């Protein structure tokens, strides 16, 4: 099976390329609208991308040399003496018309399906993978980038695939999408680490978990510094964790307090900074945070998000914190959802790695370092590949 990709401004132009190179027996595997690449792409019209295939070893009867006579030159056709029934069209002409009608119907169906967002034209195993990724709430663009290579592999394997092989292909494609990002928390080397994010995501508990790992596993000298003076009980909660872990706690109401606390903890290995969780839609909260903290180049900032939050809201939170140098994400409440696609979506949107994954309230047990394997395991955890 020979598979090739064609790009043209219109579907008829793409179909003409397919026929010219692969012949009339070519099969359309997939088609989609693509945006022109390059810096000037925004000024150009969208193109049509078509994936077509042809069997290099067709049946013998199809290898006959085609007639040199024009296909549709009906006016020049001369009646034959052995023509029995003028009401019945010539078989060659009929076959040609039927083929072109079938091709036209296929093209129209593909365009209609693409416009409606339907993927019914995909082969069943590939459509299953498509629907699974959509149900995991991966965004459409990422799903397309994963499914297109799967479709090519499907036909290159002569359609001889099973769920286990599809699972392996999905894993390989997800690895490619995760490769650009630095995941995990290799070292507790940063002096000051900020934890920011919207209300209710579990920042304080997450800080306690990170502190426990640093104190117990890495033998680090850790201090807590909180700017969360708004939430009732927030300071008491952090002090409770401080007593359990033998970690001192300081409160900063403004930037002067913040600087004094940093000086007080200058001989500590790490200062973990808890910030107030406020409504991310309130711009003034971000301004207050900027006025309170003093971020230096060597400091590290984590955006803490809940895995139960929907894609649109996660994007809104990310935009609200865009002025902060966030390089790593932390996702909490993994045990409260079964859709993990938004994790990859927000990593790609924010160009940020994944530091930790948290899936419960227990300190320090319910936290794991983020990794490519962990993310793939979450996203593909519900795939049935028996």
Distance CA 194, CA 328 (A): 11
What residue ranges of the chain have pLDDT lower than 50?
39-43, 61-65, 67-82, 84, 86-87, 104, 108-118
- Residue where a domain stops, chosen among 181, 206, 227: 181
Token representation of residue 246: 């033998």
The pLDDT, as a whole number, for residue 40 is: 46
Convert the pLDDT of each residue in 61-86 to its tens digit.
444 445 444 444 434 444 444 454 54
Q: Is residue 147 part of a domain?
A: yes
Whether residues 350 and 224 share a domain: the answer is yes
The pLDDT, as a whole number, for residue 49 is: 83
Whether residues 277 and 311 share a domain: the answer is yes
Using only the alpha carbons of the chain, give its radius of gyration: 30
Structure-token match 């018309």, residue found: 97
Token representation of residue 46: 């969208």
The whole model's pTM is what?
Answer: 0.71
- Residue where a domain stops, chosen among 60, 79, 96: 60
The pLDDT, as a whole number, for residue 338 is: 94
Whether residues 165 and 252 share a domain: the answer is no
Q: Are 349 and 318 in contact (CB under 8 A)?
A: yes
Whether residues 238 and 343 share a domain: the answer is yes
Whether residues 204 and 150 share a domain: the answer is no
Whether residues 265 and 347 share a domain: the answer is yes
The pLDDT, as a whole number, for residue 116 is: 42
Whether residues 135 and 268 share a domain: the answer is no
The pLDDT, as a whole number, for residue 77 is: 44
Whether residues 221 and 364 share a domain: the answer is yes
Structure-token match 């064609």, residue found: 6
Whether residues 202 and 174 share a domain: the answer is no
Total domains, the chain: 3
The pLDDT, as a whole number, for residue 156 is: 82
SS (H, E, C) the chain: CEEEEEEECCHHHHHHHHHHHHCCCCEEEEEEEECCCCCCHHHCCCEEEEEEEECCCCCHHHHCCCCCCCCCCHHHCCCCCCCCCCCCCCHHHHHHHHHHHHHHHHHHHHHHHHHHCCCCCCCHHHHHHHHHHHHCCCCHHHHHHHHHHHHHHHHHCCCCCCHHHHHHHHHHHHHHHHCCCCCCCCCCCCCEEEEECCCCCCHHHHHHHHHHHHHHHCCCCEEEEECCCCCCCHHHHHHHHHHHHCCCEEECCCHHHHHHHHHHCCCCCEEEEECCCCCCCCHHHHHHHHHHCCCCCCCEEEEEEECCCCHHHHHHHHHHCCCCCCCEEEEECHHHCCCCHHHHHHHHHHCCEEEEEECCCCCCCCEEECCHHHHHHHHCCCCCCC
Residue 5 lies in domain = 1-60
Whether residues 302 and 205 share a domain: the answer is yes
Whether residues 205 and 351 share a domain: the answer is yes
The pLDDT, as a whole number, for residue 115 is: 43
Whether residues 224 and 356 share a domain: the answer is yes
Distance CA 321, CA 278 (A): 12
Distance CA 173, CA 139 (A): 15
**203-212 and 234-245 helices, crossing angle to 10°:** 10
Distance CA 215, CA 248 (A): 12
Q: Is residue 159 part of a domain?
A: yes
Distance CA 222, CA 215 (A): 7
């Amino acid at each position: 099976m020979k598979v090739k990709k064609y790009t043209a401004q219109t579907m008829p132009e793409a179909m003409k390329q397919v026929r010219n190179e692969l012949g009339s027996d070519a099969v359309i595997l997939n088609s989609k609208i693509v945006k022109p690449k390059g810096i000037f792409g925004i000024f150009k019209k969208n193109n049509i991308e078509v994936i077509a295939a042809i069997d290099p070893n067709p049946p013998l009867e199809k290898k006959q040399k085609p007639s040199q006579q024009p296909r549709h030159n009906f006016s020049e056709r001369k009646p034959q003496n052995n023509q029995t029934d003028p009401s019945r069209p010539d078989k060659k002409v009929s076959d040609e018309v039927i083929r072109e009608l079938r091709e036209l119907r296929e093209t129209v169906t593909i365009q209609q399906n693409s416009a409606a967002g339907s993927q019914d034209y995909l082969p069943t195993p590939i459509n299953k993978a498509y629907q699974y990724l959509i149900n995991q709430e991966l965004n459409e663009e990422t799903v397309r980038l994963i499914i297109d290579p799967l479709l090519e592999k499907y036909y290159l394997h002569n359609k001889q695939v099973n769920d286990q092989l599809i699972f392996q292909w999905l894993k390989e494609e997800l690895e490619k999408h995760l490769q650009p990002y630095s995941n995990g928390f290799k070292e507790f080397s940063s002096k000051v680490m900020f934890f920011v994010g919207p209300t209710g995501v579990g920042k304080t508990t997450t800080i306690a978990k990170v502190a426990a790992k640093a104190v117990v596993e890495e033998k680090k000298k850790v201090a807590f510094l909180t700017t969360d003076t708004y939430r009732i009980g927030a300071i008491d909660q952090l002090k409770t964790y401080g007593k359990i872990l033998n970690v001192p706690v300081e409160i900063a109401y403004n930037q002067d307090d913040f600087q004094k606390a940093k000086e007080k903890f200058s001989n500590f290995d790490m200062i973990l900074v808890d910030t107030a969780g406020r409504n991310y839609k309130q711009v003034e909260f971000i301004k207050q945070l900027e006025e309170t903290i003093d971020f230096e180049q060597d400091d590290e900032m984590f955006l803490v998000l809940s895995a139960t939050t929907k894609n649109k809201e996660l994007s809104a939170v990310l935009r609200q914190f865009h002025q902060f140098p966030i390089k790593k994400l932390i996702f909490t409440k993994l045990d409260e959802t079964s859709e993990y696609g938004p994790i990859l979506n927000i990593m790609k949107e924010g160009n940020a790695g994944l530091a930790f994954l948290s899936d419960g309230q227990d300190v320090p047990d319910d936290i794991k370092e983020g990794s490519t394997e962990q993310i793939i395991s979450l996203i593909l955890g519900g795939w049935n590949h028996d």
